[in-house]
Chains A and B, each alone.
Chain A
Amino acid sequence: MYSTKYMKPNSTSEALDAINSLGEGKFLAGGMTLIPTLKQRLANPDGLVDISGCDLDSIADEGETIKIGAMSRHVSVAESAVVKKAIPALAKLAEGIGDRQVRNRGTLGGSVANNDPSACYPSAVLALKANVHTNSRSIAADDFFTGMFETALEEDEIIESISFLKPTKANYVKFPNPASRYAMVGVFVAQFGDEVRVAVTGAGEGGVFRHQEMESVLSSNFSADSLSSVNIVSDGLISDLHASAEYRANLIKEMTKRAVV
């Protein structure tokens, strides 16, 4: 790792001051992606602003939504009584991220801000009509993810919390990459009354995406059988040494079927 400066502010505003004081500073949340990147010398920031002291790790039931602080560790979400009660699928998703040690350190905000195309959380953000609250604004999920590793966040913008809309019913099923254990395909299905949202991660060349055709089929008939007629096109899906676009297309349908129960 190149030499760098470590800073640990006590509030979001101090964190912003800190990042602004640096030339090429980076926010450090759980560090599960950033630290390995630094270790391999793939980035050379002049400073790291650790936001774990900024009091961003609360989890609260706010009626229509569950609001989760950006620094909430995956394990906290997985084990949160509030989340388990209101959106068990979200707790299940968190429980399945990485391994135990990754869940003990990795955070919601870090994962969402990074928008790795094979991360689990973006699918929940998209399917659960979440609002991403930053220091300066709230961004609707549909506007937040703008491409692989790209989001609507500005340079000096920091995620403080994310509000997930409580669904009538939801489920997340993932098919992990056998090596990395990231999602090769992950499907988050959420039902809000008559409306159904299906968000797919791990598969899209542009990162997480909603699958409109499956959404409309499931909105009229919420059953796995109803998906049989859906043709998942492989255009725009990732093809790599682990899985072809064609195989990913199959997994999208299969994981969605398994999520609809």
Chain B
Amino acid sequence: MGEISLNINGKVEKHDVGDNTLLVDFIRENAGLTGTHVGCDTSQCGACVVHIDGVSVKACTMLAAQAQGSEITTIEGIGTSDALHPMQEAFKENHGLQCGFCTPGMVMSAIELVSKNKNASEKDIRDGLEGNICRCTGYHNIVKSVKAGAEKMGG
């Protein structure tokens, strides 16, 4: 066991955990931020996507220790229910979610996608969401949401 200190959503989280602690477990169990989810064991579903220094990563495929010294942003850190992030707003307006389980990861991936490609086409969006699996929506409204989110974000 050792102390791991991470900056999550601007707050320092210092906890005594094993070196084998995954980033996603640190976020969920130690920092208590349960918006980041776990949907698979093989780094494919993307329910656990967070940003590390603005870059999207799968928090299930990283040790917490590897994220030391970085700024981590989770779904809880991008907007509040009173002031949604434009991408969150776009998902709400376009019915881009159903059960909500894949949604945090989907939104985090979408934000990075749009920040890299402001004029993403439908194909760009579909390709760019390769790392996020949704079982409910058939992606139709997610694609629509990301497009609308891009416009809101000033694309």
- Residues of A near any B CB (own CB < 8 A): 1-6, 8, 28, 31-32, 35-36, 38-40, 48, 50, 52, 75, 98-102, 104-105, 180-181
A101–B106 alpha-carbon span in the complex (Å): 12
A–B Cβ pairs within 8 angstroms, 23 of them: A2-B20, A31-B63, A35-B62, A35-B63, A36-B42, A36-B61, A39-B22, A39-B41, A48-B63, A50-B66, A99-B130, A99-B131, A99-B132, A100-B56, A100-B130, A100-B131, A101-B49, A101-B109, A101-B131, A102-B43, A104-B55, A180-B44, A181-B130
Residues in B22-68 with C-beta less than 8 Å from chain A: 22, 41-44, 46, 49, 55-58, 60-63, 65-66
Which residue of A is nearest B64, CB measured? A6
Contact of B19 among A3, A35, A39 (CB under 8 A): A3
5 tightest Cβ-Cβ pairs between the two chains A and B: A99-B131, A6-B19, A99-B130, A6-B65, A1-B20
Q: Is the CB of B66 within 8 A of A101?
A: no
A4–B113 alpha-carbon span in the complex (Å): 34
From known contacts A99-B46, A101-B58, A105-B57, infer whether A6 and B131 are also in contact, taking CB-CB under 8 Å: no
Q: Is the CB of B22 within 8 A of A105?
A: no
Chain A residues whose C-beta falls within 8 Å of the C-beta of B62 in the assembled complex? 31, 35, 105
Residues in B1-34 with C-beta less than 8 Å from chain A: 18-20, 22
Chain A residues whose C-beta falls within 8 Å of the C-beta of B109 in the assembled complex? 100-101
Interface size of B in residues (CB-CB distance below 8 Å): 27
- Residues of B near any A CB (own CB < 8 A): 18-20, 22, 41-44, 46, 49, 55-58, 60-63, 65-66, 109, 112-113, 128, 130-132
Chain B residues whose C-beta falls within 8 Å of the C-beta of A28 in the assembled complex? 63, 66
Q: How far is the CB of A80 from chain B (nearest CB, A)?
A: 15
A134–B42 alpha-carbon span in the complex (Å): 30
Chain A residues whose C-beta falls within 8 Å of the C-beta of B22 in the assembled complex? 1, 35, 39
From known contacts A99-B130, A100-B131, A102-B131, infer whether A36 and B41 are also in contact, taking CB-CB under 8 Å: yes
Contact of A5 among B19, B61, B112, B131 (CB under 8 A): B19
Chain A residues whose C-beta falls within 8 Å of the C-beta of B132 in the assembled complex? 99
Chain A residues whose C-beta falls within 8 Å of the C-beta of B56 in the assembled complex? 100-101, 104
Which residue of A is nearest B109, CB measured? A100
Q: Most B CB atoms within 10 A — which of A6, A36, A101, A181?
A: A101
A36–B153 alpha-carbon span in the complex (Å): 34
Chain B residues whose C-beta falls within 8 Å of the C-beta of A40 in the assembled complex? 41
A105–B60 alpha-carbon span in the complex (Å): 12
Q: How far is the CB of A73 from chain B (nearest CB, A)?
A: 9
A35–B23 alpha-carbon span in the complex (Å): 11
Q: Is the CB of B20 within 8 A of A4?
A: yes
Q: Is the CB of B20 within 8 A of A32?
A: no
